[in-house]
Amino acid sequence: MIGAPQGTAPLWNAAEVEAVTGGHSTAPWQASGVSIDTRTINPGDLFIAIRGQRYDAHNFLEDAFAAGATAAMVSRIPQDHGGGHPLVIVDDTNVGLRKLAGAARKRTAAKVIAITGSVGKTSTKEAMAAALAPLGTVSASLGNLNNRWGVPLSVARMPADAEYGVFEVAMNHAGEITPLTRLVRPDIAIVTTVDAVHLEFFDSVEDIALAKAEIFYGLDPTGVAILNADNPYYPLLCDEARARGIANILSFGENERADVRLTGFHANGTSRITCNVMGTKMDFALALPGRHSAQNAMAVLAAVQALGGDLASAAEALGNMATPVGRGRRAMVRLASGGTATMIDDSYNASPASMRAAFRVLKETEPGDGGRRIAVLGDMAELGPGSARAHEELAQDLLAADVDLVLTTGANMMHLDDTLPRHIRGGHATRTEELVRLLEGVLRPGDVVLVKASHSQHLGQVVDALCAASDGEKTMANGG
Protein backbone atom coordinates (compact mmCIF):
# COMPACT_ATOMS: atom_id res chain seq x y z
CA MET A 1 0.00 0.00 0.00
CA ILE A 2 1.30 3.44 -0.98
CA GLY A 3 0.84 6.00 1.71
CA ALA A 4 1.71 8.16 4.66
CA PRO A 5 5.23 8.30 6.10
CA GLN A 6 6.04 5.53 8.55
CA GLY A 7 4.91 6.40 12.06
CA THR A 8 2.44 9.05 10.86
CA ALA A 9 -1.26 8.35 11.21
CA PRO A 10 -2.89 8.61 7.78
CA LEU A 11 -5.29 11.49 7.23
CA TRP A 12 -7.26 9.64 4.53
CA ASN A 13 -7.17 6.25 2.85
CA ALA A 14 -8.66 4.83 -0.32
CA ALA A 15 -11.67 3.19 1.33
CA GLU A 16 -12.63 6.35 3.25
CA VAL A 17 -12.39 8.59 0.20
CA GLU A 18 -14.34 6.14 -1.94
CA ALA A 19 -17.11 6.07 0.68
CA VAL A 20 -17.20 9.86 0.94
CA THR A 21 -17.04 10.73 -2.76
CA GLY A 22 -18.61 7.71 -4.42
CA GLY A 23 -15.43 7.41 -6.47
CA HIS A 24 -13.28 4.41 -7.35
CA SER A 25 -9.60 3.90 -6.47
CA THR A 26 -7.39 2.06 -8.92
CA ALA A 27 -5.25 0.71 -6.05
CA PRO A 28 -5.12 0.91 -2.23
CA TRP A 29 -3.39 3.99 -0.80
CA GLN A 30 -3.25 6.22 2.24
CA ALA A 31 -2.34 9.89 2.52
CA SER A 32 -0.96 12.15 5.23
CA GLY A 33 -2.22 15.37 3.65
CA VAL A 34 -4.26 16.94 0.85
CA SER A 35 -3.11 19.34 -1.86
CA ILE A 36 -4.55 21.07 -4.92
CA ASP A 37 -1.31 22.79 -6.01
CA THR A 38 1.68 20.95 -7.44
CA ARG A 39 3.97 23.75 -6.23
CA THR A 40 3.21 23.10 -2.56
CA ILE A 41 2.77 19.33 -2.41
CA ASN A 42 4.28 17.48 0.54
CA PRO A 43 5.34 13.84 0.15
CA GLY A 44 2.41 11.61 1.04
CA ASP A 45 -0.32 14.06 -0.05
CA LEU A 46 -3.49 13.20 -1.89
CA PHE A 47 -3.48 15.51 -4.91
CA ILE A 48 -6.92 16.71 -6.05
CA ALA A 49 -6.90 17.79 -9.69
CA ILE A 50 -9.14 20.85 -9.63
CA ARG A 51 -10.47 22.15 -12.91
CA GLY A 52 -10.74 25.94 -12.80
CA GLN A 53 -11.57 28.67 -15.31
CA ARG A 54 -7.97 29.13 -16.42
CA TYR A 55 -6.18 25.94 -15.43
CA ASP A 56 -6.96 22.25 -15.35
CA ALA A 57 -4.77 20.51 -12.80
CA HIS A 58 -5.26 17.20 -14.62
CA ASN A 59 -2.58 18.51 -16.99
CA PHE A 60 -0.07 18.57 -14.13
CA LEU A 61 -0.72 15.12 -12.71
CA GLU A 62 2.76 13.78 -13.39
CA ASP A 63 4.26 16.87 -11.74
CA ALA A 64 2.21 16.05 -8.64
CA PHE A 65 3.51 12.49 -8.48
CA ALA A 66 7.06 13.67 -9.11
CA ALA A 67 6.68 16.00 -6.11
CA GLY A 68 5.67 13.08 -3.87
CA ALA A 69 1.88 12.77 -4.13
CA THR A 70 0.77 9.31 -3.05
CA ALA A 71 -2.50 9.34 -5.05
CA ALA A 72 -4.60 11.73 -7.11
CA MET A 73 -8.31 12.43 -7.29
CA VAL A 74 -9.30 12.92 -10.93
CA SER A 75 -12.41 13.16 -13.08
CA ARG A 76 -10.53 12.04 -16.19
CA ILE A 77 -7.35 10.07 -16.80
CA PRO A 78 -4.77 12.12 -18.73
CA GLN A 79 -3.27 10.44 -21.78
CA ASP A 80 0.25 10.76 -20.40
CA HIS A 81 -0.56 9.01 -17.11
CA GLY A 82 1.66 5.97 -16.91
CA GLY A 83 -0.59 4.05 -14.53
CA GLY A 84 2.07 3.61 -11.86
CA HIS A 85 0.32 5.69 -9.22
CA PRO A 86 -3.13 5.24 -7.64
CA LEU A 87 -6.01 7.35 -8.88
CA VAL A 88 -9.38 8.06 -7.28
CA ILE A 89 -11.80 8.55 -10.14
CA VAL A 90 -14.82 10.79 -9.39
CA ASP A 91 -17.39 12.62 -11.49
CA ASP A 92 -16.22 16.10 -10.45
CA THR A 93 -13.09 16.85 -8.43
CA ASN A 94 -14.48 20.19 -7.17
CA VAL A 95 -17.43 18.32 -5.70
CA GLY A 96 -15.07 15.62 -4.45
CA LEU A 97 -13.03 18.19 -2.51
CA ARG A 98 -16.14 19.64 -0.88
CA LYS A 99 -17.40 16.16 0.06
CA LEU A 100 -14.02 15.37 1.60
CA ALA A 101 -14.17 18.59 3.62
CA GLY A 102 -17.71 17.83 4.76
CA ALA A 103 -16.64 14.38 5.94
CA ALA A 104 -13.64 15.84 7.79
CA ARG A 105 -15.89 18.29 9.60
CA LYS A 106 -18.44 15.60 10.46
CA ARG A 107 -15.94 13.12 11.92
CA THR A 108 -14.22 15.53 14.34
CA ALA A 109 -15.25 16.72 17.78
CA ALA A 110 -13.05 19.80 17.44
CA LYS A 111 -14.30 23.22 18.46
CA VAL A 112 -14.23 25.25 15.26
CA ILE A 113 -13.69 29.00 14.86
CA ALA A 114 -14.39 30.82 11.57
CA ILE A 115 -12.97 34.30 10.97
CA THR A 116 -14.05 36.85 8.40
CA GLY A 117 -13.86 40.64 8.07
CA SER A 118 -12.78 43.37 5.68
CA VAL A 119 -9.23 43.46 7.07
CA GLY A 120 -7.23 41.53 9.63
CA LYS A 121 -8.52 38.04 8.83
CA THR A 122 -5.23 36.26 8.30
CA SER A 123 -3.31 37.80 11.20
CA THR A 124 -6.28 37.18 13.51
CA LYS A 125 -6.47 33.59 12.30
CA GLU A 126 -2.77 33.14 13.05
CA ALA A 127 -3.21 34.74 16.47
CA MET A 128 -6.21 32.51 17.20
CA ALA A 129 -4.24 29.38 16.28
CA ALA A 130 -1.31 30.51 18.44
CA ALA A 131 -3.54 31.26 21.42
CA LEU A 132 -5.23 27.85 21.22
CA ALA A 133 -2.02 25.86 20.77
CA PRO A 134 -1.29 25.65 24.54
CA LEU A 135 -4.82 24.30 25.04
CA GLY A 136 -4.77 21.42 22.55
CA THR A 137 -4.04 20.32 18.97
CA VAL A 138 -5.01 22.96 16.41
CA SER A 139 -5.75 22.57 12.71
CA ALA A 140 -5.75 25.94 10.94
CA SER A 141 -5.87 27.35 7.42
CA LEU A 142 -2.41 27.79 5.94
CA GLY A 143 -1.61 31.23 4.57
CA ASN A 144 -4.68 32.84 3.06
CA LEU A 145 -6.57 29.71 1.93
CA ASN A 146 -9.90 31.43 2.40
CA ASN A 147 -11.89 31.14 -0.83
CA ARG A 148 -14.13 28.54 -2.50
CA TRP A 149 -11.17 26.19 -2.94
CA GLY A 150 -9.02 27.21 0.01
CA VAL A 151 -11.70 26.73 2.68
CA PRO A 152 -12.71 23.17 1.69
CA LEU A 153 -9.03 22.29 1.26
CA SER A 154 -8.26 23.57 4.77
CA VAL A 155 -11.18 21.67 6.31
CA ALA A 156 -10.26 18.49 4.39
CA ARG A 157 -6.81 18.70 6.00
CA MET A 158 -8.23 18.68 9.55
CA PRO A 159 -7.30 15.44 11.37
CA ALA A 160 -10.10 13.53 13.07
CA ASP A 161 -8.44 13.97 16.47
CA ALA A 162 -7.96 17.76 16.23
CA GLU A 163 -9.23 19.61 19.28
CA TYR A 164 -9.58 22.99 17.58
CA GLY A 165 -10.10 24.13 14.01
CA VAL A 166 -9.41 27.71 12.92
CA PHE A 167 -10.49 28.75 9.44
CA GLU A 168 -10.38 32.03 7.54
CA VAL A 169 -13.36 32.79 5.27
CA ALA A 170 -13.29 35.53 2.63
CA MET A 171 -15.39 36.93 -0.17
CA ASN A 172 -15.49 39.67 -2.78
CA HIS A 173 -19.09 39.09 -3.90
CA ALA A 174 -22.34 38.64 -2.00
CA GLY A 175 -23.33 35.01 -1.48
CA GLU A 176 -19.78 33.62 -1.42
CA ILE A 177 -19.50 33.15 2.34
CA THR A 178 -22.77 31.22 2.75
CA PRO A 179 -21.66 27.87 1.27
CA LEU A 180 -18.28 28.15 2.99
CA THR A 181 -19.63 28.74 6.49
CA ARG A 182 -22.15 25.94 6.03
CA LEU A 183 -19.22 23.69 5.21
CA VAL A 184 -17.11 24.88 8.18
CA ARG A 185 -20.06 24.85 10.61
CA PRO A 186 -18.26 27.00 13.20
CA ASP A 187 -18.92 26.96 16.92
CA ILE A 188 -17.59 30.52 17.06
CA ALA A 189 -17.76 33.13 14.29
CA ILE A 190 -15.57 36.26 14.42
CA VAL A 191 -16.06 39.35 12.25
CA THR A 192 -12.93 41.50 12.65
CA THR A 193 -14.35 44.65 11.06
CA VAL A 194 -16.34 45.99 8.12
CA ASP A 195 -14.82 48.61 5.85
CA ALA A 196 -14.72 49.93 2.29
CA VAL A 197 -13.08 47.03 0.44
CA HIS A 198 -14.30 45.22 -2.70
CA LEU A 199 -16.41 48.29 -3.57
CA GLU A 200 -15.94 47.33 -7.20
CA PHE A 201 -18.49 44.59 -6.51
CA PHE A 202 -20.78 46.28 -3.94
CA ASP A 203 -23.02 49.34 -3.99
CA SER A 204 -22.28 50.32 -0.38
CA VAL A 205 -20.31 49.41 2.74
CA GLU A 206 -23.60 48.31 4.30
CA ASP A 207 -23.91 45.69 1.57
CA ILE A 208 -20.41 44.52 2.48
CA ALA A 209 -21.53 44.20 6.11
CA LEU A 210 -24.50 42.09 5.05
CA ALA A 211 -22.21 39.85 2.99
CA LYS A 212 -19.90 39.40 6.00
CA ALA A 213 -22.94 38.54 8.11
CA GLU A 214 -23.38 35.43 5.98
CA ILE A 215 -20.84 33.87 8.36
CA PHE A 216 -23.76 33.39 10.76
CA TYR A 217 -25.55 31.06 8.30
CA GLY A 218 -23.30 28.18 9.32
CA LEU A 219 -23.22 29.02 13.03
CA ASP A 220 -25.39 26.85 15.26
CA PRO A 221 -27.87 28.84 17.40
CA THR A 222 -25.94 27.60 20.45
CA GLY A 223 -22.74 29.08 19.03
CA VAL A 224 -21.05 32.41 19.73
CA ALA A 225 -20.74 35.46 17.48
CA ILE A 226 -17.81 37.74 18.33
CA LEU A 227 -18.18 41.24 16.88
CA ASN A 228 -16.27 44.52 16.83
CA ALA A 229 -18.08 47.04 19.06
CA ASP A 230 -15.97 49.89 17.64
CA ASN A 231 -17.25 49.35 14.10
CA PRO A 232 -20.23 51.41 12.90
CA TYR A 233 -21.84 48.25 11.52
CA TYR A 234 -21.82 46.49 14.89
CA PRO A 235 -25.59 47.02 15.41
CA LEU A 236 -26.36 45.67 11.93
CA LEU A 237 -24.22 42.58 12.53
CA CYS A 238 -25.89 42.00 15.89
CA ASP A 239 -29.30 42.19 14.21
CA GLU A 240 -28.21 39.75 11.51
CA ALA A 241 -26.87 37.30 14.10
CA ARG A 242 -30.06 37.46 16.15
CA ALA A 243 -32.11 36.95 12.98
CA ARG A 244 -30.30 33.62 12.60
CA GLY A 245 -31.30 32.65 16.14
CA ILE A 246 -27.90 33.40 17.69
CA ALA A 247 -28.35 34.80 21.18
CA ASN A 248 -24.77 34.53 22.45
CA ILE A 249 -22.97 37.62 21.13
CA LEU A 250 -19.67 38.85 22.59
CA SER A 251 -18.25 42.27 21.72
CA PHE A 252 -14.64 43.41 21.59
CA GLY A 253 -12.79 46.65 21.04
CA GLU A 254 -12.09 49.90 22.88
CA ASN A 255 -15.74 50.77 23.38
CA GLU A 256 -16.52 51.12 27.08
CA ARG A 257 -19.36 48.60 26.77
CA ALA A 258 -17.27 45.94 25.01
CA ASP A 259 -17.24 42.56 26.75
CA VAL A 260 -13.52 42.27 26.01
CA ARG A 261 -12.04 45.74 26.10
CA LEU A 262 -8.65 47.09 25.09
CA THR A 263 -7.83 49.56 27.86
CA GLY A 264 -4.25 50.46 26.99
CA PHE A 265 -1.83 50.21 24.08
CA HIS A 266 1.86 51.08 23.87
CA ALA A 267 4.11 50.42 20.89
CA ASN A 268 7.89 50.46 20.95
CA GLY A 269 9.07 47.82 18.49
CA THR A 270 6.70 45.34 20.10
CA SER A 271 3.20 46.07 21.39
CA ARG A 272 2.23 46.14 25.06
CA ILE A 273 -1.46 46.04 25.82
CA THR A 274 -3.75 46.07 28.81
CA CYS A 275 -7.30 44.82 28.62
CA ASN A 276 -10.33 43.65 30.55
CA VAL A 277 -11.70 40.25 29.57
CA MET A 278 -15.17 40.11 31.06
CA GLY A 279 -13.88 41.24 34.44
CA THR A 280 -10.37 39.74 34.23
CA LYS A 281 -7.69 42.44 33.88
CA MET A 282 -4.64 41.50 31.82
CA ASP A 283 -1.32 43.04 30.79
CA PHE A 284 0.82 41.32 28.16
CA ALA A 285 3.05 41.72 25.10
CA LEU A 286 1.69 41.17 21.59
CA ALA A 287 4.00 40.09 18.78
CA LEU A 288 1.77 41.59 16.08
CA PRO A 289 2.35 45.31 15.40
CA GLY A 290 -0.24 48.07 15.58
CA ARG A 291 -3.30 49.10 17.53
CA HIS A 292 -5.51 47.30 15.01
CA SER A 293 -3.75 44.04 15.90
CA ALA A 294 -4.29 44.76 19.59
CA GLN A 295 -7.99 45.26 18.91
CA ASN A 296 -8.20 41.96 17.03
CA ALA A 297 -6.34 40.25 19.88
CA MET A 298 -9.38 41.13 21.97
CA ALA A 299 -11.49 38.99 19.62
CA VAL A 300 -9.03 36.13 20.12
CA LEU A 301 -9.26 36.41 23.90
CA ALA A 302 -13.04 36.57 23.69
CA ALA A 303 -13.00 33.25 21.80
CA VAL A 304 -10.63 31.67 24.35
CA GLN A 305 -12.93 32.84 27.15
CA ALA A 306 -15.98 31.42 25.34
CA LEU A 307 -14.19 28.09 24.98
CA GLY A 308 -13.31 27.99 28.67
CA GLY A 309 -9.58 28.16 27.91
CA ASP A 310 -6.77 29.57 30.03
CA LEU A 311 -6.41 33.28 29.28
CA ALA A 312 -2.91 33.60 30.71
CA SER A 313 -1.56 30.83 28.48
CA ALA A 314 -3.28 32.34 25.47
CA ALA A 315 -1.84 35.80 26.20
CA GLU A 316 1.66 34.40 26.57
CA ALA A 317 1.31 32.64 23.22
CA LEU A 318 0.24 35.91 21.57
CA GLY A 319 3.48 37.47 22.73
CA ASN A 320 5.59 34.67 21.28
CA MET A 321 3.88 34.07 17.92
CA ALA A 322 5.52 34.75 14.59
CA THR A 323 4.21 37.60 12.47
CA PRO A 324 2.73 36.27 9.19
CA VAL A 325 4.75 36.99 6.05
CA GLY A 326 3.54 40.10 4.25
CA ARG A 327 1.46 41.30 7.19
CA GLY A 328 3.72 43.48 9.29
CA ARG A 329 6.78 41.25 9.67
CA ARG A 330 9.96 43.23 10.36
CA ALA A 331 13.49 42.68 9.13
CA MET A 332 16.78 44.51 9.54
CA VAL A 333 18.46 45.48 6.28
CA ARG A 334 22.22 45.92 6.04
CA LEU A 335 23.37 48.86 3.95
CA ALA A 336 26.60 49.41 2.05
CA SER A 337 27.76 51.88 4.71
CA GLY A 338 27.54 49.17 7.37
CA GLY A 339 24.48 50.71 8.97
CA THR A 340 21.01 49.19 9.03
CA ALA A 341 17.43 50.11 8.16
CA THR A 342 14.21 48.51 9.33
CA MET A 343 11.75 47.02 6.86
CA ILE A 344 8.05 46.51 7.69
CA ASP A 345 6.69 43.96 5.23
CA ASP A 346 2.95 44.58 4.80
CA SER A 347 3.05 43.76 1.09
CA TYR A 348 0.39 41.05 0.91
CA ASN A 349 -2.77 43.13 0.61
CA ALA A 350 -4.14 46.64 0.92
CA SER A 351 -7.33 48.64 1.36
CA PRO A 352 -7.92 52.18 2.62
CA ALA A 353 -8.49 50.85 6.14
CA SER A 354 -5.41 48.63 6.19
CA MET A 355 -3.31 51.42 4.65
CA ARG A 356 -4.29 53.75 7.49
CA ALA A 357 -3.51 51.06 10.04
CA ALA A 358 -0.10 50.45 8.45
CA PHE A 359 0.68 54.18 8.49
CA ARG A 360 -0.08 54.25 12.21
CA VAL A 361 2.36 51.36 12.73
CA LEU A 362 4.97 53.31 10.77
CA LYS A 363 4.37 56.36 12.96
CA GLU A 364 4.73 54.21 16.10
CA THR A 365 8.15 52.99 14.90
CA GLU A 366 10.99 55.33 15.82
CA PRO A 367 13.72 55.67 13.15
CA GLY A 368 17.35 55.37 14.16
CA ASP A 369 19.74 58.29 14.35
CA GLY A 370 19.39 60.29 11.16
CA GLY A 371 16.72 57.96 9.84
CA ARG A 372 13.36 58.71 8.25
CA ARG A 373 9.97 57.09 7.85
CA ILE A 374 9.57 55.90 4.26
CA ALA A 375 6.42 54.44 2.67
CA VAL A 376 6.73 52.32 -0.47
CA LEU A 377 3.19 51.96 -1.82
CA GLY A 378 1.42 50.19 -4.67
CA ASP A 379 -2.17 50.24 -5.89
CA MET A 380 -5.14 49.17 -3.79
CA ALA A 381 -7.34 46.86 -5.88
CA GLU A 382 -11.12 46.38 -6.22
CA LEU A 383 -12.17 49.87 -5.13
CA GLY A 384 -14.42 50.57 -8.11
CA PRO A 385 -15.24 54.06 -9.47
CA GLY A 386 -13.96 55.78 -6.33
CA SER A 387 -10.49 54.28 -6.63
CA ALA A 388 -8.69 57.47 -7.72
CA ARG A 389 -10.16 59.47 -4.84
CA ALA A 390 -9.38 56.69 -2.32
CA HIS A 391 -5.73 56.83 -3.36
CA GLU A 392 -5.61 60.62 -3.24
CA GLU A 393 -7.07 60.66 0.27
CA LEU A 394 -4.12 58.66 1.60
CA ALA A 395 -2.04 61.85 1.42
CA GLN A 396 -3.55 63.28 4.61
CA ASP A 397 -3.03 59.99 6.44
CA LEU A 398 0.63 59.90 5.40
CA LEU A 399 1.16 63.45 6.64
CA ALA A 400 -0.57 62.64 9.93
CA ALA A 401 1.78 59.67 10.34
CA ASP A 402 4.87 61.94 9.97
CA VAL A 403 6.06 60.05 6.89
CA ASP A 404 9.13 61.71 5.41
CA LEU A 405 9.28 60.10 1.97
CA VAL A 406 6.78 58.24 -0.25
CA LEU A 407 7.66 56.06 -3.23
CA THR A 408 4.81 54.78 -5.39
CA THR A 409 3.95 52.42 -8.22
CA GLY A 410 0.76 51.58 -10.09
CA ALA A 411 -1.73 53.56 -12.19
CA ASN A 412 -3.89 54.54 -9.21
CA MET A 413 -0.98 55.52 -6.98
CA MET A 414 -0.14 58.19 -9.56
CA HIS A 415 -3.13 60.07 -8.12
CA LEU A 416 -1.52 59.93 -4.68
CA ASP A 417 1.85 61.00 -6.05
CA ASP A 418 0.22 64.03 -7.72
CA THR A 419 -1.52 64.95 -4.44
CA LEU A 420 1.47 64.68 -2.11
CA PRO A 421 3.48 67.75 -1.09
CA ARG A 422 6.56 67.96 -3.26
CA HIS A 423 8.98 67.60 -0.33
CA ILE A 424 7.89 64.03 0.47
CA ARG A 425 7.62 62.71 -3.10
CA GLY A 426 10.27 60.05 -3.52
CA GLY A 427 9.36 59.12 -7.08
CA HIS A 428 6.82 57.07 -9.03
CA ALA A 429 7.85 53.86 -10.77
CA THR A 430 6.03 52.12 -13.63
CA ARG A 431 7.58 48.73 -12.82
CA THR A 432 8.58 46.95 -9.63
CA GLU A 433 12.21 46.70 -10.74
CA GLU A 434 12.33 50.47 -11.16
CA LEU A 435 10.79 50.89 -7.70
CA VAL A 436 13.56 48.77 -6.18
CA ARG A 437 16.17 50.97 -7.84
CA LEU A 438 14.44 54.11 -6.55
CA LEU A 439 14.51 52.74 -3.04
CA GLU A 440 18.14 51.67 -3.34
CA GLY A 441 18.97 55.24 -4.31
CA VAL A 442 17.46 56.85 -1.22
CA LEU A 443 17.75 54.33 1.61
CA ARG A 444 20.13 55.26 4.41
CA PRO A 445 20.99 54.04 7.92
CA GLY A 446 18.26 54.45 10.52
CA ASP A 447 15.40 54.53 8.01
CA VAL A 448 12.16 52.66 8.64
CA VAL A 449 10.58 51.42 5.41
CA LEU A 450 6.95 50.31 5.07
CA VAL A 451 6.14 48.26 1.95
CA LYS A 452 2.42 47.93 1.24
CA ALA A 453 0.11 47.24 -1.73
CA SER A 454 -2.51 44.85 -2.98
CA HIS A 455 -1.10 41.43 -3.81
CA SER A 456 -1.55 42.01 -7.54
CA GLN A 457 1.16 44.68 -7.40
CA HIS A 458 3.85 42.11 -6.51
CA LEU A 459 5.63 44.37 -4.06
CA GLY A 460 6.93 41.20 -2.45
CA GLN A 461 9.75 41.67 -4.97
CA VAL A 462 10.75 44.84 -3.15
CA VAL A 463 10.65 42.93 0.13
CA ASP A 464 12.77 40.17 -1.41
CA ALA A 465 15.39 42.72 -2.46
CA LEU A 466 15.55 44.12 1.07
CA CYS A 467 15.61 40.69 2.68
CA ALA A 468 18.34 39.53 0.33
CA ALA A 469 20.52 42.27 1.78
CA SER A 470 19.55 41.22 5.29
CA ASP A 471 20.46 37.61 4.50
CA GLY A 472 23.83 38.59 3.12
CA GLU A 473 23.04 37.67 -0.48
CA LYS A 474 23.27 41.28 -1.54
CA THR A 475 23.83 44.67 0.05
CA MET A 476 21.47 47.54 -0.70
CA ALA A 477 23.09 50.72 -1.93
CA ASN A 478 22.44 53.65 0.39
CA GLY A 479 21.67 57.10 -0.86
CA GLY A 480 22.15 60.47 0.70
Residue 99 has pLDDT above 90, yes or no: yes
Residue 284 has pLDDT above 90, yes or no: yes
Percent of the chain with pLDDT over 70: 94
pLDDT in tens, 4-43: 333 457 999 999 999 999 999 999 999 999 999 999 999 9
Q: What topology is assigned to 108-320 in CATH? A: UDP-N-acetylmuramoyl-L-alanine:D-glutamate ligase (3.40.1190)
Tell me the CATH number for domain 329-470.
3.90.190.20
Residue 332 has pLDDT above 90, yes or no: no
Q: What topology is assigned to 12-95 in CATH? A: 3.40.1390
**Domain residues of the chain, as ranges?**
12-95, 108-320, 329-470
Q: How confident is the model at residue 3 (pLDDT cuts 50, 70, 90)?
A: very low
Residue 4 is predicted with a pLDDT of: 39
pTM of the model: 0.84
pLDDT in tens, 232-245: 999 999 999 999 99
pLDDT in tens, 35-72: 999 999 999 999 999 988 788 999 999 999 999 999 99
Residue 470 is predicted with a pLDDT of: 52
Percent of the chain with pLDDT over 90: 71
CA-nearest of 290, 335, 287 to 443 is 335
Residue 1 has pLDDT above 70, yes or no: no
Residue 269 is predicted with a pLDDT of: 62
Return the minimum-mean-pLDDT range out of 82-91, 96-105, 170-179, 292-301: 82-91
Residue 7 is predicted with a pLDDT of: 40
Q: Cβ(113)–Cβ(185) under 8 Å?
A: no
pLDDT in tens, 157-206: 999 999 999 999 999 899 999 999 999 999 999 999 998 776 678 889 99
Residue 473 has pLDDT above 70, yes or no: no
Tell me the pLDDT of the chain averaged across its residues.
Answer: 90
